[in-house]
Amino acid sequence: MGRPQISSTLSSSRRAALVVACAMGMLAGPALGTAQAEPERPGPAKKPGLEQVRKDIERLHDKAGSATDAYNAAEDKVKKQQKAVVRIAKKIDSTQGRLDKLSDTAGAMARAQYRTGGMPDEARLMLGKDPDAFLREASLVRKGQQATRGFMGSLSRTRTALDGYAKDATDQYEKLEKNRAKKAAAKKKITAQLKKAKRMESRLKKEERERLRELEEQAAQKRQAKWLKTGALKGVNGKGSGAGKRALDWATKQIGKDYVWGAQGPNTFDCSGLTMRAWEAAGVRIPRTSQEQWKQLPRVPVSKMQPGDLIIYKKDASHVGLYAGDGALLHAPRTGRQITVEGAGTMPILGVVRPDK
C-alpha cells in the first residue's frame, strides 16, 4: 500500500520540477542547440520618390510664404507703432513742460495769497479807510479771479491731456510688443520650414537635384496648360495703363535678383516687396503685404486684367506677382530662386487687383 503512495508522490515532484525547469528555461532564453525563429528586424526606411520630394518641398515653401506675409505684416505694424510711440513721447515732453510752468505759476499765486493773508473782500471793506480805493481794487480782484479761473482750467486741461498721452503711449507700447512677438514667431516658422526644405534637397545627389528641377518645371507647365484650356485669357488684351506699364518696366529690370523673405529692395526682394516697389516707382503707393494688397486694392476680373495688374495667389493671399501680358507672370518666387517670368497659371489664382483703378 505504501509504494503506490511513494510513486505517486515522486511523479508529482517530477512534474513540478519539469514545470519549474521549463519556466526557468523561458526566463533564461533558448537552450543551446534549440532551434528558434529569429525576430523580425525593421528594414531600411523606403526612400521617397523624387515626385514626392518635389511636393513636400513645394508644401514647405508654401508654408514659409504664408509665414513671410505674417512677418511682413507684423514688421509693418511695428514700424508704424514705433513712429506713433515717438510722436506721443514728444507730446508728453512738451505737455509736461507746459504743466511744469503752469504749476510754478500756481505756486507763485498761492504764495502771494498767503502773503496778503487771504482776507475776504467784506472784511477788507469794513477795515479799510478808503471805500473808493477798495472798490477800484475789488474790480481788479474780480478780473484777477476770472484770470485765475481761466488759469486753473488750463492747468486742469493740461493735466488731463498728459494723462491721455500717457495712456496712449502705454497702449501703443503694448501693441508694439505684441507685434514684435508675432514677428519673432513668424521668423521662427519661416526658418524652420526653409531648413526642412533645404535638408531634403541636400540629401539628393547632383543628378537627382537636376531631375527635381525638371519635375518642378514640368509640373508648372502642366498647371499653366490646364489654366489656359479653361479659356481664362479669353477677352484679355495686352493694353495697360501708363502707371501699370511703368510698374512692369521697373519690375522687368529686377529680373535675376534673388528672392529673400522680408526684403523690399533694392538688391533683393520677396514677392510683395517687389510689387510694392514696382508700383511705388510708377507713382502709386500700395500696402506692403500681398494680403493687404488683396484686401485694400480695387479688384478686377481675371478676364479683364492688364499688364501691371497684380495677380494674387493661394487661398490665404500669400503670394503676388505682376501680370506681364500674354498669360505670363513676373514675380519673386521663393527662397533659392530669382525674380523671373513664368506662366500666370502655374499657381492657384485667388484674384486680380489694379492699384490705379
CATH code assigned at 105: 1.10.287
Greater pLDDT, 11 or 161: 161
Please tell me the distance from the alpha carbon of residue 157 to that of residue 111, in angstroms, as a whole number. Answer: 23
**Reported pTM:** 0.70
- Segment of 54-63, 123-132, 289-298 carrying the highest mean pLDDT: 289-298
- Phi first, then psi: what are they for 206, rounded to 5°? -55, -45
Helix extents (H) in 230-287: 242-252, 271-281
How confident is the prediction for the chain on average, in pLDDT?
Answer: 81
Angle 249-255-257 from CA coordinates, rounded to 5°: 130
Element of type H or E holding 347: none
Task: Tell me the percentage of the chain whose pLDDT exceeds 70.
Answer: 75
- pLDDT(322) > 50: yes
Q: Point out the catalytic residue in the list 271, 320, 324, 353.
A: 271
**Is 61 annotated as catalytic?**
no
- pLDDT(287) > 60: yes
Please tell me the distance from the alpha carbon of residue 334 to that of residue 68, in angstroms, as a whole number. Answer: 10
User: Biggest alpha carbon distance in the chain?
Assistant: 155
Using pLDDT thresholds of 50, 70 and 90, give the confidence band for residue 298: very high
Omega of the bond leading into 298 within 30 degrees of 0 (cis):
no
**Sequence letter at residue 164:** G
Which of 200, 221, 244 corresponds to the end of one domain? 200
| Percentages (nearest 5) of helix, strand, coil residues in the chain | 65, 10, 25
CATH number at residue 331: 3.90.1720.10
* Listed range (26-30, 83-87, 175-179) with the worst mean pLDDT: 26-30
Q: Are both 236 and 140 inside the same structural domain?
A: no
Please tell me the distance from the alpha carbon of residue 346 to that of residue 349, in angstroms, as a whole number. Answer: 9
CA within 13 Å, CB half, 347: 25
Q: Point out the catalytic residue in the list 54, 257, 288, 331.
A: 331
Greater pLDDT, 92 or 294: 294
pLDDT of res. 250? 98
CA within 13 Å, CB half, 27: 6
53 near 212, Cβ under 8 Å? yes
Q: Are both 268 and 328 inside the same structural domain?
A: yes
**Is 331 annotated as catalytic?**
yes
Domain range for 269: 231-353
**Sequence letter at residue 136:** R
Q: Are both 170 and 312 inside the same structural domain?
A: no
Please tell me the distance from the alpha carbon of residue 198 to that of residue 203, in angstroms, as a whole number. Answer: 9
Q: Point out the catalytic residue in the list 183, 246, 288, 319.
A: 319
Which of 200, 216, 241 corresponds to the end of one domain? 200
Assigned domain for 265 exists: yes
Q: Which of 334, 74, 319 is nearest to 193 (CA)?
A: 334
Assigned domain for 38 exists: no
Q: Are both 163 and 276 inside the same structural domain?
A: no
Total domains in the chain come to 2
Assigned domain for 220 exists: no
- pLDDT(86) > 80: yes
Assigned domain for 173 exists: yes
Please tell me the distance from the alpha carbon of residue 170 to that of residue 172, in angstroms, as a whole number. Answer: 6
Q: Are both 255 and 124 inside the same structural domain?
A: no
Which of 200, 220, 242 corresponds to the end of one domain? 200
